[in-house]
Structure 1
Amino acid sequence: MHIIVVGAGVTGAATALALIGEGHSVEIIEAAPAPATGASFANAGLVSPGHCFSWAEPGVVSVALKSLLGFGDGFGIHGPWTGALARWATLFAREARPERWLANSRAALALAGYSRDLQFSANLVLPKSYGGRQDGILYLYGQGQEPGPQDASLLQEAGESFRELDAAMLLEREPLLRSARVTFAKGVYCPGDGTGDAARYTAAALEQAVAQGAVVRFAEKVLGFDISHGVARAVHTNHGERRGDAIVVSAGLASRRLLAPIGLHLPIHPVTGYSISYRQGGQARPSVGAVSIAHKVAWAAFDDTLRFTGFADVGIPSDSTVAKRFAALQRFAAQVCPDIEALAPQKWVGQRPMTPDNLPFLGTSPVRNLLLNCGHGAMGWTMACGSARIVSDLIAVRRPALDLQPYQWDRYRLLGRRPRQPRSSSR
């Protein structure tokens, strides 16, 4: 089959590589002039099933209200104030009920763990090409803080290995914290989690796909789809028509715009995040990736890069907000690694394509031969390889390893969730 993949971020690149490995002819179309220019460019670098719990958790509505009143801490809500934002926020609030949070977190863990295992076991892209390491991640808590009451049981249920560490054990696991000016009282260490540069992974995956015969078309914008009698035949681009036997939409935030004209009004909304990357010389480096839950900041090292990533601003923040976020991120980075205080970081702002339940739209659509692989939010790097394998399974008419009900395209009505209906996970 000849398959068109729309998007050359980490999910699109992983999908293209999985498909060409199955013997398909693959054509990747990307509006940007290079791969991984969006949310995949300078994200946290964490492959992190150990803390992929849904952001729509009980109590998040009060946090959002505080943010609107100017009391947000690491979380903000910004315009443009549109109907799309109102719908997304309403759905997000409704996902914050305890039973929904549990169901969404279970589904996120299932896909994240599956994807992580594929990435580090199949080694379709060698870790050395993207600074990849599977040395674990620390999830850190301050004095008086505790992991969520369901976190441990969810990890156990998913078969994820983890250890709870006290302050002294944290220093043994991560010696870098001995010199830090911020302290942590306890942590959870997930040894199966990993780190790596998502942008370099994307470039390496595309390079391998091209070496096996794939065609990549950069700076070509998909304008719409040719759909006849319920079957996707081609994509229309600013360079003409590209025909295929199947089309996979992995275009991040652009997926919502592309799919709306054919009746798929997916609630995918931008949630802005920030990163600063330091090129290190002889400075001390972390031995594992880490996340400070209280500060909403993560960090990881790959090769000569040390990156700090943090915060979540729903929508597009103002320039003044962006400046405040970067100032806070740099202050925190200097607290964790005093050696880098004199270094000038590379700054990046990116919009994550978030859904209300923090689960992607993954699998078949109402249009035959048009498959979805979009809306991964902050977990695109973690879920990329698993999502790619699922897409390749569906195209090959194989039953995927996971039940796809939680990720289906029609799980939402306008302002609520559709009742669950029995559905086959294969095509």
Structure 2
Amino acid sequence: MTSTYRTTNTPGSVPGPRRRPPVPKVADIVRAVTADEPKVRITAYDGSSIGPADSPITLHVATERGLSYVLTAPGDLGLARAYVSGDLEVQGVHPGDPYDALHTLADGLHLRMPAPAEALRLARGLGWERLRPPPPPPQESTPGWKRALAGLGLRHAKGRDAEAIHHHYDVSNRFYEMVLGPSMTYTCAVYRSESDTLEQAQANKYDLVAGKLALKPGQRLLDVGCGWGGMVRHAAREYGVRALGVTLSKQQALWAQAAIEREGLSHLAEVRYLDYRDAPLEHFDAVSSIGLTEHIGLRNYPQYFRALRDRLKYGGRLLNHCITRAHSRTSRKPDAFIDRYVFPDGELAAPGRLVTEAHDAALEVQHEENLRLHYALTLTGWNRNLVENWDDCVAEVGLGTARVWGLYMAGSRLAFERNEIQLHQILATKTTKDGVSSYPLRPDWTA
């Protein structure tokens, strides 16, 4: 092996110019940071490749910028930046549903930290300019500390929560119509069997929630974090309930109120653009929270459960439905891709934490169940809709944003399947001081 430095041997002479080490190929870099030969094919703009030639999935690093994204943000964030920007191509799958690629990568690409000397040699060969982070794609939100400096306040301040909701939910109502389907429901459905359609499963979910809450004609329901008003409209239409929904997304509130009027439900249903903390203090017969808890922050759980309790009549029921951590030991904060591209400031708790907080807010927990695999099926349906409407979705929101949604939904599906995250429903009552809960000896709803 020849020396990478050229010097003269004459005593007292000035050393010759230092020669830069050979520029490593992308395949060399992959080889240095993987524990064994990848089971997926990886090719690059420099003509190098690694991995089995017959792999059904190929990752193609198309540009030097793509390599810089990956090198300057190791892990999921760098890969996501390169993919969203088009600098990393995933061949063998549709961009609206890259599930098969993620599944293959989860089992077939095991990363390791290279030895310091090896890392230094690669860095010198690449040139330090290659290790300067390129500007991120426009779909990326700023990190949390920048959100605070931008005047949005501390994590889960009202203004900052409103901005986080705007980032995710105000993408385009038309886009969500194509991805979510007619129900416009962006939460876990309930499948009686895998042959159920997505629409049937979403109706099943609303019926399950209504049953757990024992909804009856004439009762009042508060639905916090109501989205496009799916639960509000279902409760009014199918159960004769007077329902109020609140959401921090202006676009959702406008769409939901128009749907209420279109369906002739204005005498029973209403959706307001409102923080749940500002919802009316009237005593409701039931409160549903379907997919809100992920956004409010763990430190706000005591306030959150007290706020919902204070809006319930004695004997009233609360149904809390949210994504949870599979283990208390894992981080409550999502990975960098989810935080920057999907749910800024989102936080997940283990189900035991939710039960404890509801209990400590003087709510009596009556029932709990895990719907983890139902969410995997739900996400499969959303990815399918995105693929079927791909061209129209790209025309509506742009290629980069459509790639973000395909990636995050497929990745979430894999996480639910592998029990990395879960979905729990917790049913509680506002029980009187002398122990009257109005809850029967056995559940009065059908699973």
TM-score, structure 1 normalization: 0.26
**Larger CA Rg, structure 1 vs 2:** 2
Higher fraction of helix: 2
TM-score, structure 2 normalization: 0.25
